[in-house]
Amino acid sequence: MPNFSWEPLDFLEALEVVPVVGEYGIYYQYLVSRAPLSLSLTIWPLDSDVEILFKNEGAAEPFVRLNLLDCPGARVIRDDRRTYIEFSAARVFGGRFDHAHTPPYGFQLQIQPFIQMSTFSYPV
């Protein structure tokens, strides 16, 4: 079973929060709060699963729940204007993925200067 390809230290630096780590490293949960929005990013590296939740203050349920099952990996990208995490799309392209190479398409979770979720694709 392939593991999730990522650099946990890059996530720590980009998200600026220490993750809650499950026993034996079964999951990493990052909780980021930027009023009135809160972001919960949970990664199960052994299962290659990712869950992203967006929630408003005072709301009982998240208004966005994105689950990426069998996600090959993610990488942190920093450019002049923003910092974001690219998650390669789960089960939608052949071949291996590692954090050093560009996936053809997937999801971007922008962290700086504001939190935003979007899709992306690169020419192949």
pLDDT tens string 47-86: 999 999 999 988 999 999 999 988 889 999 999 999 999 9
Q: Give the model's confidence band at 106: pLDDT under 50 very low, under 70 low, under 90 confident, else very high.
A: confident
pLDDT, position 70? 87
Each residue of 3-42: b (16+ CB within 10 Å) or e? Answer: ebbbeeebbeebbeeebeeeeeeebbebebeeeeebbbbb
The answer to whether the Cα torsion of 53, 77, 18, 72 is positive or negative is positive
Compute the average pLDDT of residues 22-42.
Answer: 95
**CA neighbor of 78 nearest in space, from 6, 15, 8, 5:** 15
Structure tokens that stand for 12 in this block: 């720590």
pTM for the model: 0.85
pLDDT, position 88? 86
Beta bridge partners of 108: 86, 118
Question: Exposure of 115 by Cβ count < 10 A (0-12 exposed, 13-18 middle, 19+ buried)?
Answer: middle
Most confident of 8-17, 65-74, 86-95, 107-116: 8-17
